Amino acid sequence: MKTRLTQRGLLYGGLTLVMLFTLAPYAWLVVSSFKPSTEIFTRTPTWLIREFTWKNYVWALGPSGADLGVYFWNTVLAAGATALISAALAATGGYAMARYVFPGRRVLALSLLLSPMFQGPPVMIPYYRILSALGLLNTIPGLVLVYMSLTLPICIWLMAGFFRGLPRELEEAALVDGCSPVGAFARILLPLTLPGLAATSLYAFVVAWNDYQYALILTSSTRAKTIQMGLSELLTFLGQTNWGGVMASGVLATLPVVLIFMVIQRVLVQGITAGALKS
Amino acid sequence: MPSLARLRRRLVEHRTPYLLLLPSVAYLLSFTIYPILNVFYLSVTDLHLVKSLVPHFIGFGNYRDLIWNDPDFRRILGNTFIWTFGSTTLQFVLGLTTSLILNARLPWRGFWRGVMLVPWVTPIIVVGIIWRWIYDGSYGLLNYYLTVVGLLNRYVVWLGEDAMVWPALLLASLWKGYPYMCLMLLAGLQTIPEEIYEAADVDGASGFWRIWYITLPLLRPVATIVTLVALVLTWNNFQMIWVLTEGGPAYATSVLATYVFTKGFVFFQLGSGSAVAALSILVVLVLCVIYGRMLRVEEREP
């Protein structure tokens, strides 16, 4: 009885500590974003807002402040296009991976699984050269082309998983009824995986939205700079800028991601853990 | 040629999956495979963003310069190991502890599991904003609280001092990275059947010993794979360091991943930067071979 109590105590104590560690830095960001700067620059930090203000948010979006609107718009376009194209390719590719046995399948599966290991700095310089050769530096299509390398492998994995979850009899019945294979795929299977497809494309959206390193080397002006680049510019001029405004910008850049994530969390977690652990 | 005819027959026979996968495979060949090969080629050229826009073959000069003539390279290599193993170890310890907590019967368990993932989805620049402010030398939270509890008697510029910058960086990396580890381990824990624990209860094992003798050994295959993946992802992780210190002060927190960027896009030496990238990829390849082997073993087991 006594050990049970200690165990429960340890469990709840541990949970409290972990959650404090996880949420406190985040809470600090959100709280500060609603404070006037006189309350932010204090030697004694306070967790309560004495004088609530929206001023920082106005500064983040307004033309007299950071003017992040155009950065947000660029990101919506880049992440949106990445999401749509990834979903389309992953639907067809995932179906093939789930339902067909063909030479090269294992190699392809393994390369999809290993591709996240070669992202970022190892391929930065080639990406810069490729986009430069295509004349796509500092453009949104250029970003989309590169972002697909982050999203496509996992999206194909996710979709293959969803298709595997559907019984084969569905297609067989459709084929017997005179449906063409393409028709069976488009009219029977695809609608059934629609929730999965939506989650997959939202996942791609989040990944593209959160990219920092590729935008850093591939964009150079507000023609294509994404919101992460907008924020990083604020950080560069940190000394002179308004911290409250930077915090508010950070909250705004995180909001869509956290909202989307709350919607797709379950599907996503299943897909990602399955992709990495069961090959 | 007979082999060509066979190839054709195979293509026709499997045309549906091949057609379905064609766009994806074409994309992956040009944007995943080609860049990896390309970086090896560029590493033996004099490519420069200003001086030499067309690459000329120069042999292994870039590698020679790095290994023998670059005074910072050795330190950067050492840093890469501190960063990779430090981050992964910390993330593993907290990730494992948290996964055990979140696998226990708790009220609101699903909610806590969701909350745990918040740092993982936070954009890296926002992570930078949050932690730069925590580490600030005048108004930072860390200085304030450490002084209040008496662990610190002066305010420290955490990201500006050689001795303090690594602990600071690793703590921020722990915050950002432990949820991924926890998520994977939690998935592993959920595959352990309840009956095993019931049998242990009958045998009188409880609490800590139950975890030590049953949970951990059964979790080991998953834990090994997850750790390996985390090692590679940390090895390549340029963003976390860049948003906090940009590899500084001087080269104090530079690792191979940040050095590729510094060489290539700060000093414009794309050829030399590619050599750094190529060396870095070689290490990743070794880890990938181990990973591939382990996956195959995992497949055979059941």
Burial B51-89 (b: 16+ CB within 10 A, else e): ebeebeeeeebbbeebeeebeebeebbebbeebbebbbe
B41 and chain A: CB distance < 8 Å anywhere? no
Across the interface, do A122 and B39 touch by the CB < 8 Å criterion?
yes
The percentage of residues in chain B with a pLDDT greater than 70, rounded to a whole number, is 95
Q: What are the structural domain ranges in chain B?
A: 64-300
pTM for this prediction: 0.91
Mean pLDDT, residues B131-139:
88
Q: Give residue A51's pLDDT band: very low, low, confident or very high (50, 70, 90).
A: confident
Could you tell me which of A207, A202, A212, A198 has the C-alpha nearest to residue A260? A202
How far is B229 from B234, CA to CA, in rounded Å? 9
A190 contacts chain B (CB < 8 A): no
Give the mean model confidence (pLDDT) for residues B61-72: 91
* pLDDT for residue A276 is more than 80: no
Q: Looking at chain B from residue 102 to 161, which residues have their Cβ under 8 Å from any Cβ of chain A?
A: 102, 104, 106, 112, 114-119, 121-126, 128-134, 138-139, 141, 144
pLDDT tens readout for residues B203-253: 666 677 778 888 888 888 889 888 998 999 999 999 999 999 988 888 989
Average pLDDT over residues B73-92: 94
CB within 8 Å: A124 and B256 = no
Map B180-205 to HEC letters: HHHHHHHHHHCCCCHHHHHHHHHCCC
pLDDT for res B1: 53
pLDDT value of position B94: 96
Give the least confident one: A179-188, B64-73, B93-102, B191-200: B191-200
Helices B73-103 and B162-189 cross at an angle (nearest 10°) of: 40
Of 3.30.70.2860, 1.10.3720.10, 1.10.1240.10, 3.40.50.261, the CATH number of B64-300 is 1.10.3720.10
Q: Is A135 on the interface with B (CB under 8 A)?
A: no
CA distance B239 to chain A (A): 6
Instruction: Set out the domains of chain A in order of their start, with CATH numbers.
Output: 69-277 (1.10.3720.10)
ipTM: 0.90
CA distance A65 to A242: 9
Q: Which residue has the tokens 């530096």?
A: A137
Question: Chains A, B: CB contacts under 8 A, how many?
Answer: 278
Phi, psi of B57 (to 5 degrees): -65, 130
> Is the model's pLDDT at A110 over the cut of 80?
yes
Predicted local distance difference test score (pLDDT) of residue B131: 94
pLDDT for B161: 86
**What is the arithmetic mean of pLDDT over B287-294?**
81
Does the pLDDT at position B57 exceed 80?
yes
Q: Is the pLDDT of residue A250 over 60?
A: yes
Two tokens at B286? 């070794």
**Better-scored residue on pLDDT, A239 or B180:** B180
Does the CB of B96 have a partner CB in chain A at under 8 Å?
no
* pLDDT tens, position by position, B245-267: 988 888 989 999 999 999 999 99
Query: Distance between CA atoms of A206 and A260, rounded to whole angstroms?
Result: 8
Nearest to A279 by CA among B84, B298, B122: B298
Closest in A21, A125, A238 to B270, CB measured = A125
